[in-house]
Amino acid sequence: MLRSSRYIVALMVVAIVAAVAPIGSSDASAGIASLYRTGDWRSEKHVPVIDCPVEFKAGEPTTVTVTIGKETEHPNTAAHHIRWIRLYFIPADSTLPYEVASFEFSAHGESVLGTDTSTLYTDPKVSIDVRTGVPGVFYAAAYCNIHGLWESAKAITIAE
Amino acid sequence: MLRSSRYIVALMVVAIVAAVAPIGSSDASAGIASLYRTGDWRSEKHVPVIDCPVEFKAGEPTTVTVTIGKETEHPNTAAHHIRWIRLYFIPADSTLPYEVASFEFSAHGESVLGTDTSTLYTDPKVSIDVRTGVPGVFYAAAYCNIHGLWESAKAITIAE
Amino acid sequence: MLRSSRYIVALMVVAIVAAVAPIGSSDASAGIASLYRTGDWRSEKHVPVIDCPVEFKAGEPTTVTVTIGKETEHPNTAAHHIRWIRLYFIPADSTLPYEVASFEFSAHGESVLGTDTSTLYTDPKVSIDVRTGVPGVFYAAAYCNIHGLWESAKAITIAE
Amino acid sequence: MLRSSRYIVALMVVAIVAAVAPIGSSDASAGIASLYRTGDWRSEKHVPVIDCPVEFKAGEPTTVTVTIGKETEHPNTAAHHIRWIRLYFIPADSTLPYEVASFEFSAHGESVLGTDTSTLYTDPKVSIDVRTGVPGVFYAAAYCNIHGLWESAKAITIAE
């Protein structure tokens, strides 16, 4: 009940913010919060998609995959590419987030012959094994070298 | 004028959020924004301090130093330490932030003899040279392995 | 022919080095080369295992998995863990290596309650998709926070 | 005595290797060792320069600066730049290296308007504070996105 009303107020706040301030504005007062953007990954190719079971078995390695451009491929050139994906986890009822992993995608086709000549590319997709004994929310962050910071979230539970 | 009223509404929004949702709550809807905390670096040792001129000369390398624990030293052990500092920049009137640099502090005293035995420690402070031809805001982010994500910001201008 | 004799001389050199200098000695003259160790991953749990097809289709995303402790699990605690895996590629007949990706494994059980209390762990295993149009050798490097740098290699070809 | 003769044999080995195998060859047998190059930083702009006192006071923060292109500036564009510098330390008489820090230089001028349009650049130079109670050797590694891996070393002692 309290939780639902918190959601409703949060949605109202988001609506007010959206109406008043352009997301990503450079007001120092707004904080890093204002730098992250999100959206529907089906139509916005920068939004990270977190694929994993919604239910983890406590303490068992569980594969988490994060993909950029799952529906529409993102460019991968020296001029325009996904530089990194980072994964965070915040336990339910906690206020302290953990970094789970940080992934740099380093090869974008450049060589001594010029941009897009090496044939070597690292795609912006990564899978790792994570163990947790508590429920919570995974947050994926991603950075496009020219379109900035993007995020998404996925809540998971622990099997009884 | 428009800018001032935007600030006022932003402050109202912050007030509503503060009243309703605990900062760092694990609501997936709140986004990564909710994971970052800030404060006065004189009393809260996790808050990064950005030291640099407030005025840059266009295109000239200018030293930017980011320090955690500038007033009160932060612990540096395997159990409790600052893992990284990351620096972002968002040009004024732009909505697209850039990552400037990412710094991992890797040595926290551990060795094969146990934690806090190696005598080797990397302090959570870093200086780099940055060039910009446009004004904007630097954002520093930092991660404590047990106290999560922290941020601060500093606006700079370009000398005429 | 020339290639075979190069291998033979290389083996002779390795034999001389092994006889004379302990691997990992701190002679500044020896270079970073002297810091990396390798071995049989079946008996030495630090050695990274690179799993991927030996034949890539030119330009097609191909999954490369790197695992530490594939046979014998490596510890994962604040005191002793795998910090990162990095993947390099050097095209055949080239002398210029590329970094493909760099992966930080960030969660090792620590929380405000002490080491090994969070239940959250990132396992030292990662899968990514890589594209190449030329044959060459992947090198995996890994870092254990108390046992240093480890490496392995795997050559791949391109399907005709 | 033993140490001197080890140096002499090491030099012989280096001479043999130099005569036989091109540095950076893609033989999987050669290991990551074969990927790193070095030289005189005054004539080869990729070679990292480690600036710090040759004598540290045990346990006191001491500034270590690593610079690429100290004599001749290295290019900094999306097509050609220094991606990272990493610093290692190996205590004297030990065979286990530690990673001290890892620095990503992320801004190379790219924006939505094209390469070299943002005016924002991170220079390949970094200063940090390191504490050690034992003597040893710092190794700096650096990565150029098209010219591969470079290294240098500097031995330090501890004040009596």
CA C99 – CA C115 distance, rounded (Å): 33
Least confident of A6-20, A123-137, C119-133: A6-20
Does A84 score more than 50 pLDDT? yes
The more confidently predicted of residues D14 and D45 is D45
What is the pLDDT at residue B28? 57
**Chain D residues touching residue A147 (CB < 8 angstroms):** 112
Shortest Cα distance, chain D CAs vs residue A93, angstroms: 33
| Residue D111 Cα to chain centre, angstroms | 29
Residue D18's contacts (CB-CB under 8 Å, 6 or more residues apart) are none
| B107-143 tens-digit pLDDT | 999 999 999 999 999 999 999 999 999 999 999 999 9
Element (H, E) at D14: helix D2-20
Residue D97: closest CA among D106, D87, D107, D105: D87
Contact A106 D83 (CB under 8 A): yes
**Chain A residues touching residue B95 (CB < 8 angstroms):** 22-26, 148
**Chain B residues touching residue D106 (CB < 8 angstroms):** 98-102
| D70-97 tens-digit pLDDT | 999 999 999 999 999 999 999 998 989 9
Catalytic annotation present for B80 = yes
Contact D83 C93 (CB under 8 A): no
What is the pLDDT at residue B138? 97
Which residues of D carry out catalysis? 44-46, 74, 80, 144, 147
Q: How many CB pairs under 8 A join B and D?
A: 117
Residue D138: closest CA among C28, A79, B10, B77: C28
What is the pLDDT at residue C32? 81
**Chain D residues touching residue B120 (CB < 8 angstroms):** 89, 91, 98, 100, 130-134
Residue in the block written with tokens 């050609």? D80
Query: How many CB atoms neighbour CB A72 within 10 A?
Result: 11
CA D44 – CA A93 distance, rounded (Å): 55
Query: Any idea of the CA torsion for D107, A146, A48, A90, to the nearest 10 degrees?
Result: 40
CATH number at A38-158: 2.60.40.730
Contact D35 C139 (CB under 8 A): yes
Shortest Cα distance, chain C CAs vs residue A5, angstroms: 29
CA A154 – CA A90 distance, rounded (Å): 11
CA C30 – CA C23 distance, rounded (Å): 10
Chains that touch C (3 or more CB pairs under 8 A): A, B, D
Residue B32's contacts (CB-CB under 8 Å, 6 or more residues apart) are A33, A36, A88, A139, A141, A151, A153
Angle at Cα D81 formed by Cα D75 and Cα D85, nearest 5°?
120
| Residue B132 structure tokens | 């910009």
Long-range Cβ contacts of B83-87 (<8 Å, 24+ apart)? B83/A99, B83/B143, B83/B144, B83/B145, B83/C106, B84/B142, B84/B143, B85/B48, B85/B124, B85/B126, B85/B140, B85/B141, B85/B142, B86/B140, B86/B141, B86/B142, B87/B50, B87/B128, B87/B130, B87/B138, B87/B139, B87/B140, B87/B141
Chain A from 71 to 110: CB within 8 A of any C CB: 89, 91, 96, 98-107
Using DSSP's 3-state secondary structure scheme, residue D39 falls into coil
Residue in the block written with tokens 């007001």? A27
Which candidate from B101, B125, B134 shows the least CB-CB separation from D129?
A: B125
Which candidate from C99, C107, C111 shows the least CB-CB separation from A107?
A: C99
Q: Cα dist. D55→D86, D89, D111 in Å? A: 21, 14, 44
Contact B9 A28 (CB under 8 A): no
The more confidently predicted of residues D4 and A61 is A61
CA C134 – CA A95 distance, rounded (Å): 48
Percent of chain C with pLDDT over 70: 81
Q: How does DSSP assign B52-65, residue by residue? A: S-SEEPTTS-EEEE
Residue D90: closest CA among B85, C23, C76: C23
CA A66 – CA C67 distance, rounded (Å): 18
Does C18 contact D at CB distance below 8 Å? no
| D22-59 tens-digit pLDDT | 333 344 566 887 789 989 999 999 999 999 999 999 99
Chains that touch B (3 or more CB pairs under 8 A): A, C, D
**Chain D residues touching residue B101 (CB < 8 angstroms):** 103-107, 122
Contact between A107 and A113 under an 8 Å Cβ cutoff? The reply is no
Is the ipTM reported for this complex over the cut 0.90? no
Shortest Cα distance, chain A CAs vs residue D102, angstroms: 12
Instruction: For chain C, give every domain's residue range.
Output: 1-36, 38-158
Dihedral pair phi/psi, residue C65, rounded to 5°: -115, 130
CA A154 – CA A133 distance, rounded (Å): 16
Q: What is the pLDDT along chain B (160 residues), one digit of tens a residue?
A: 333 333 333 333 333 333 333 333 344 566 887 789 999 999 999 999 999 999 999 999 999 999 999 999 999 999 999 999 999 999 998 989 999 999 999 999 999 999 999 999 999 999 999 999 999 999 999 999 999 999 999 999 999 8
Contact between C37 and C23 under an 8 Å Cβ cutoff? The reply is yes
